[in-house]
Structure 1
Amino acid sequence: MTEHWYSEVSSAEVKQFRCLESGKAFAFKNSLIQHAVVHSRVKNFKCDECGKQFAWKKSLTKHLLIHSGVKNFKCDECGKQFTVKSTLTRHLLIHSGMKNFKCDECGKRFTRKGNLTRHLLIHSEVKNFKCDECGKKFTDKFNLTQHLLIHSGVKNFKCDECGKRFTQKGDLTKHLLIHSGVKNFKCDECGKQFTLKGVLTRHLLIHAGVKNFKCDECGKQFARKGVLNQHLLIHSGVKNFKCDECGRRFAQKGDLTKHLLIHSGVKNFKCDECGKQFTDKSNHTKHLLIHSGVKNFKCGECGKRFARKCVLTQHLLIHSGVKNFKCDECGRRFAQKGDLTKHLLIHSGVKNFKCGNISNIHKDTEVLSAEYMAKVEVLRNKASWNSTSEDDTDVARVRGNTSGIHGNADSPSYSQRAERFVTRLP
């Protein structure tokens, strides 16, 4: 072997022989020669269990301990066990808190140089390892190998608390933090706390307002690609998650989980303002916007304002003229599903709301107006509106908020006309 691939350093140094390929130094020339095999890419020693190949026999010998299941080296800090002592030594660096290897790109620090080297591939954006199942690409083989476990369907790591299973032990370890209740990572913007730093980092994208991932179907944008992928399931029409209670189906498992809370009847989130209770925290948070009085979403058509964007989106359907929800009983169509649901109560025949003392309602015209309008809406679906009788004139006045609501000196009082009209309702 020629000597151009290594150099001798000062004899004053402990490690005199340095590899020009990787820069690694050795105390003995023989050690350097053994190391050079790594760069030659020659791997003559193969594991019969998994097919993995090695450049040195001793590496294969160490590797075989993994398949034996024997782990004689235990960490006194966390109890984790290892097959070889060198792995335990590297592991102890985690508990020491020492991170001497820093990434010049993002400042992230690592306990081991190998981890830093793998991390640098992220910044290079070079992804040479591709999954044949889904086409996803990775910067290194290790991450690809871990990813392939997802497609295998094998989940050997089970949570003793809730029974959830995972393909990787690391995922189980992260999951266990949820049950611990420990949330050491806090958002300075809104005060929300998280169990993992990575989750906090993703959460901060919400406050940053950066949404680089756009849905080609509807134009909606997202801060994270994973959320976009989940959203795309809505457009696919595929709903693989079914509720055993009512048969309703969902595109995402998370939506099914939230839905099941409805059937449980458990409502742990209560509004301090009005006492209304909710099954999940997100609905409770949305509800609080009503009491805040803040309405940042304005309709460009009529100027009406809303506390939530989704409510504005539903409202815009009214102006679009599109009515996709049809009543099978009478054929009437609605722009919003909620309106159809309320309308169906008319056909059900159920009348849970009883009018009290009608003669006293005139004391509060707003209360009468609301109840009167509700009854008019019932009548509109049961009778013809083509006539021009006195009855229709009364109704028209109420619907149009004309002077007929309060009346004048020459016309019957509001309570009298209301009383006369309500008595004719079925």
Structure 2
Amino acid sequence: MNACDICNKNFKEKSSLVVHRRVHTGDKSYSCDQCEKTFSSNSVLTVHKRDHTGERPFSCDQCEKSFTRSSHLTQHKRFHTGEKPYSCDQCEKTFSNNSTLTVHKRIHSGEKPYSCDQCEKFFSDNSALIKHKRYHTGEKPYSCDQCKKTFSRISHLTVHKIIHTGEKPFSCDQCEKTFTSGGTLTKHKRIHTGEKPYSCKLCDKHYVSSSHLSTHNKSRGHLEMMKSCNNTVPTSVSISFIKCEEVYIKEEIKEEEIFDEDPLSIQMRADNIEENIKEEIDDSLSCELNCGEDRIDTIDIVHHKIEI
């Protein structure tokens, strides 16, 4: 066996050890003639060049997908077989590849090593950071081939395309109704179960969705009750587009004490902000994890947490 004198890794071939040592030395003597990237071995450079040529020599025998790397094909095949050989040692979840397990473990550790250089947000994986940055740059690289709409995430495009196809792939197992998204199906099922997870903080009323609670919160009776309790109307109203703990749009009315002003006039200002935001947000944007959460909420920022 050939052992590395820095990290003690063992290799069957001496040539593999030579390549491995470049990880420690930082030697990248193989450069791409089409871009500025450099690599530690010729084999890695060969794989990289396929990004330029579009070559995908590794194809799946169960579907039409093909890949630039054999390791990517191996991982892909697990979606067909259902194999999940990587398991978390802190919970019972299993994964089809080790990189997904690594990201998952950060849920337990709380580690968020990727930070946005334009705001104070941190992320557990680099792909989430890349998607987040598009909200700063306004980049929308995914376009619909049937209309001119563009999207910042491919999942948003996928949801949008259902508008053109009329497809409703999510069906209720208790009735014959079908829906375009899993989130809408989740809310529908509450009709059968009677579940009302959204409750008013001032009275005992409960609602099946946060939008229904929001409507209640803006009612004259609710605002009058708030005024009678505190002799003031809370005018710090946050209107947010919530998606898996990320607030993408937020506007506020400055907080101030109100004693004589009609409470509905305060809420009207919040309504105007909400309508402006609704015009800016594409109707097809929804949570790709199909959590069932409404997209726009007023009065409170909804703390929307999804266990990944």
Query: Which range, TM-score by smaller chain?
Result: 0.5 to 0.7
| Candidates 231, 244, 266, aligned match of 1:360 | 266
For 1:362-418, what per-residue CA distance to the aligned partner results, in whole angstroms no more than 9, with x for missing partners? 335453338999xxxxxxxxxxxxxxxxxxxxxxxxxxxxxxxxxxxxxxxxxxxx9
Cα distance in structure 2, aligned partners of 1:201 and 1:351: 60
1:199 deviates by: 1.4
1:239 deviates by: 1.1
For 1:171-214, what per-residue CA distance to the aligned partner results, in whole angstroms no more than 9, with x for missing partners? 45433433444444455656444333321321121132233444
| Candidates 109, 125, 149, aligned match of 1:264 | 109
TM-score, normalised with respect to structure 2:
0.52
| Candidates 31, 40, 53, aligned match of 1:195 | 40
| Candidates 295, 308, 330, aligned match of 2:140 | 295
Q: How does 1:55-94 map to 2 (within 5 A)?
A: none
| Candidates 55, 67, 84, aligned match of 1:210 | 55
For 1:4-63, what per-residue CA distance to the aligned partner results, in whole angstroms no more than 9, with x for missing partners? xxxxxxxxxxxxxxxxxxxxxxxxxxxxxxxxxxxxxxxxxxxxxxxxxxxxxxxxxxxx
Equivalent pairs counted in the alignment come to: 219
> Which one scores higher on RCO, CA 8 angstroms, separation ≥ 6?
2
Which SS does the other structure have where 1:275 is aligned? Answer: coil
> Structure 1: where are the runs of 5+ without partners?
1-155, 374-417, 420-426
Question: Who wins on radius of gyration, i.e. which is larger?
Answer: 1
TM-score, normalised with respect to structure 1:
0.40
- What's the counterpart of residue 48 of structure 1? none
Cα distance in structure 1, aligned partners of 2:183 and 2:8: 37
Cα distance in structure 1, aligned partners of 2:144 and 2:6: 47
Name the % identity: 35
Cα gap change, 1:370/1:238 in structure 2, threshold over 3 Å: closer, same or farther? Answer: farther
Cα distance in structure 1, aligned partners of 2:75 and 2:21: 24
Does the 8 A contact of 1:239 with 1:252 survive in 2?
A: yes
- What's the counterpart of residue 276 of structure 1? 121
Aligned residues: CA RMSD: 4.6
1:274 deviates by: 3.3
> Structure 2: where are the runs of 5+ without partners?
202-209, 218-233, 236-263, 280-297, 300-308
| Candidates 221, 231, 256, aligned match of 2:76 | 231
Cα distance in structure 2, aligned partners of 1:337 and 1:248: 22
1:312 deviates by: 2.4
- What's the counterpart of residue 167 of structure 2? 321
- What's the counterpart of residue 65 of structure 2? 220
Cα gap change, 1:280/1:298 in structure 2, threshold over 3 Å: closer, same or farther? Answer: same
Q: How does 1:22-421 map to 2 (within 5 A)?
A: 168-187=13-32, 191-301=36-146, 303-317=148-162, 319=165, 321-324=167-170, 335-336=180-181, 348-349=197-198, 356-357=234-235, 359-363=265-269, 365-369=271-275
